[in-house]
Every structure is written in C-alpha cells, then in structure tokens.
Structure 1
C-alpha cells in the first residue's frame, strides 16, 4: 500500500518547468567544447544566417562534411534555415571546431526552447565528447610509439 501512495505522489508532483534562458536581445548563449576547441554560440530565430568568427559558414568551413556535421542539430529538430547563429571559435583544428560548434549549438537550442532537449539528447548532441590527444611520454617517440630498435 505504501508503494502505491509513493507512486501517486510522484505522478501528481508538479514537475519543475524549465524556463528559457534569453538575453535582452532575445538570444540564447551556450559554450561548446571538443578536443582543444572552444565555441561560443549565440542563436536567435531568423532566416538561417550563420556567422563564424566574422565569416560565413561556407567560407570558414570549406569541407561539406563539417558543414553537414554543424547543421545536424537543426535537421534533427526539423528547423533548417529558421535560426540565425553567430559564434566565435578558438583552438584546435577545423574538425574539433566543427564539433565544438555543434555541441554549443545544441546547448543553445535547449536554452532557448527547453522542449527540444529530448530530441537533441537522444541524438547525442548534448554530450561533450571527452576524447583528446594523449600526451607524449619521455623515452618515447610519440605517446606510445617507441624509437626504432637497432640491433647493431
């Protein structure tokens, strides 16, 4: 009987409604990280304008695979060309920067519209990828590679 009471208490409890986080300009901000890259992302509803470090997305990321990777959160929520994105990204290479922008974009979308969180979470875009380059050890040529062995 106590278990049924507990179950009713849990179902009838008011679940805390998450409030959207927006600034005075109607934008949401989030930080995304991948490898050594850090992306600061601002989003607001618009026409699909995408600015990365003062340049267009096509200009900054010439490879279509990276542009497709960045736009994955929009295609997941069926909102392509409905958001204006402005981001600054530093550190790492182009692949890490694209991953950082995707992570920051997903987080910013959940801050703007908390109802989008389940879809983005299921796609795995809200998880920070912890993989990074292993450090070089002394006595080794690289992180694990040994120097070439010479018998004579």
Structure 2
C-alpha cells in the first residue's frame, strides 16, 4: 500500500516535468528567461483556458512562449508584450484582465451572484412560517394522563 503511494507520487512528480517549458525554448540570458517565465505565468493558454502557457503542452501555448521570448530578445518591455497579446487574443488571454467597461461583467459577476444568493436566502427565510411563541408550555390534564399511561406501558416492557 505504501509502496503504491510512493510510486504514484513519483509518477506525479515526473509528469509535471513533462508539462514545463521545453529545453529548446529556454533563453541563454537568465534575466530574460526569468522575465519570460513571469510573463508566461500570467498568460492564459487559449486552448486549455485555465492553465498558464508556461505549463501547457498545447501547440498554441508553445507558440506563445516562443513569441514572448522573441519579443524579449528584440527589446520589448513586459507591458509591450502584454499589449501585443491582448491586441491579438483579447483580454481573456490574461489571468488578471484590466478593469474596464468590456470586462466589468467578468469582474463584477461574482459579487452580483453573491448578492442575488443573499437576497434569495433572505426572501426564503422571510417567507418561512414562524413557530408561534406559546407562553403556555404546560400540558393539559388530559395530556398529562395520556403521557403517564404511555410511560407506564413503556416501562412495563
């Protein structure tokens, strides 16, 4: 059992290496490579959608990684690269798109859903029948007699 767990962990660790930047993409300048990795971590794979291009095996992700490195070598700033990618693929390509009219729905929808859910819960609770508050919690004489009979029968079993 333990051996199988260790084997599974080893396979998982090795499989993550397969989903990394390929060796032929790595820049010889470590500063540029660090910038490329930082940019790639913030760019969404347009095929995988919720995976950064830095860890995606999709062909488009590879093309984007190469493009980013080419533009870095050409002297582009990080912002110029982001602007180029947004121009080509739209704001969706960024994991943190800018807050502007075309992305308001993206940024505000979680709050709207939370608000709608809160209102639905409040309405549901307000329509729920309330238990009448009874000041008289004592049993009537007839109920006391019935209860005594039931308890007597229960103890005789």
Q: Which has the higher contact order (CA 8 A, sep 6+)?
A: 1
Mark yes or no: TM-score above 0.5: no
Going by fraction, where is helix more abundant, 1 or 2?
2
Relative to the length of structure 2, the TM-score reads 0.27
Relative to the length of structure 1, the TM-score reads 0.27
Q: Max radius of gyration: which structure?
A: 2
